[in-house]
Structure 1
Amino acid sequence: MPRWEPDARERLVAAALQLFSEQGYDNTAVAEIAERAGLTRSTFFRHFPDKREVLAAGQEILSRLFADGISAASADATPLTAVAAGLERAAGAMTLFNRELGPRLHAVIATSTELQERDALKQVGLAAAMTGALRARGVPDLVATLAAELGVLAFKEAYAAWVAADNQQELGDLARTALDRLRTTVTELG
């Protein structure tokens, strides 16, 4: 077995999802995940601190992409326009691998309270990254928090639509549509 595997992280995520689907999250050991991926336990632990974190793979990158997109938005962008730029940046980085694993990931998360809690924390982390980027642009705290939460909701809705078997649209288009729909909905709150 080679010392360095260029796609080890993706292989570990795919193997974990296969095993979690086949035998359940609680009944799957790290050694089994590594073996299924054709890697060693030590390689697993170089990429993830535990098996729960396999399902949050890429969260840091996604948070950074959201924040980078917001930071790069034009200086005169409204908070939601800046969030749209963050959504666009994150959507542009999503690959076919992300799309193929999406339905299995959601199915596995639905089977475990622990994983549902971890997924909720992931969304909190994404919102925090966007809120921080908006605050750095001088957006007041409450406005930044609300805009970031809308961004998370839009991304969540867009991602669910993107991974649907019958979907033909790009994630960026779905995210823009979802954010526009939320923007309109907010004005209807009165």
Structure 2
Amino acid sequence: MADTQTSTPAPERSRFQRNHERIYGAAISLFAARGPDAVTMEDIADAAGMSRSSVFNHFPSKTLILATFFTRMTDEVIAEARAEPARDFRSALIDLGRIAGTHAMQQGPIVAAIAGLTAPSQPLAPTEQATDAAMLTYMLALIESGQARGEVRDDHPASALANLLLAVLTASAHEWVANGQATDLSTLLESRFSLILDGLMQKN
């Protein structure tokens, strides 16, 4: 029986993806320069050199662009942390805080806009849940490896420790935004992770 499902030919899929990335890149550049609130969909269309309807076909709202950015930034932070040379648990966690802080500081206006849209009733709450889940999975793997090597205390479940670290990361980022991004987020995360590490690390 013939396959009756329609599919987009490969060249068309490729063109769609190129246009998608073109619009996304234009939007992020504008958001970084002006802040998302000051950018309209028409501005994005003009910057991308495309029609307003084309922009809406790819991103029906600015919120969806911010959600895409939030997801990609989290994925990039985790990928960079994983790519660091093999090291002990303390170094791995400090590296994660440094990388997360650096990414956030590089895109301050966008991160500030996202932070204001992640409360339970806000449109980016589901995106934050998904990014938190990805970060939690990475942190859990770090803790379990540290426990297996005898570096991390094993008298508490690894999942509880991972949730604690995630809470510190999230709360610190929101505090940094609320305080006008006046401090170095990487340094703040390193300091707070170090305090927790003093209690987590196995005493020899």
Coarse TM-score class (shorter-chain normalised):
0.5 to 0.7
Who is 2:37 aligned against?
18
Structure 2 counterparts to residues 108-123 of structure 1, below 5 A: 108-110=117-119, 112-123=121-132
Paired residue for 2:42? 35
Residue 71 of structure 1, CA deviation: 4.8
Q: Which has the larger radius of gyration?
A: 2
Deviations 1:59-109 (A, max 9, x none): 23423423432452543x12x43122122122223344x322334333333
Partner amino acid for 2:100? Answer: A
Instruction: Give the Cα–Cα distance (whole angstroms) in 1 for the partners of residues 193 and 112 of structure 2.
Output: 22
Q: Residue 128 in 1 paired to residue 140 in 2? A: no
Q: State the alpha-carbon separation in 1 of the partners of residues 45 and 71 from structure 2.
A: 24
Q: In the alignment, is residue 93 of structure 1 matched against residue 100 of structure 2? A: no
| CA distance in 1 between partners of 2:40 and 2:181 (Å) | 30
**Residues 157, 181 of structure 1: alpha-carbon distance in 2 compared, 3 angstrom cutoff:** farther
Aligned twin of 1:161 = 175
Matched, 1:55 2:66: yes
Taking the aligned partners of 2:40 and 2:192, their CA distance within structure 1 comes to 36
Secondary structure at the residue paired with 1:66?
helix
Cα distance, 1:172 vs structure 2: 0.7
Q: Give 1:179's aligned residue.
A: 193
User: What letter is aligned with 2:93?
Assistant: V
Q: What is the CA deviation profile of residues 137-176 of structure 1, one whole-angstrom value per residue up to 9, with x for unaligned ones?
A: 5865x53x45543442232122123223455321110111
- Quick one: which of 66, 81, 87 aligns to 1:69? 81
Aligned twin of 1:28: none
Root mean square deviation of aligned Cα: 4.0
| Count of aligned positions | 167
Structure 1 unaligned spans of 5+:
20-31
TM-score by length of 2: 0.58
Q: Does 1:8 align with 2:16?
A: no
- Asked if the contact 1:69/1:89 (under 8 Å) is kept, the reply is yes
- Specify every segment of 5 or more residues in structure 2 that has no aligned partner in the other structure, as ranges: 1-18, 47-51, 149-156
Shift of 1:128: 2.0
Give identity over the alignment, percent: 16
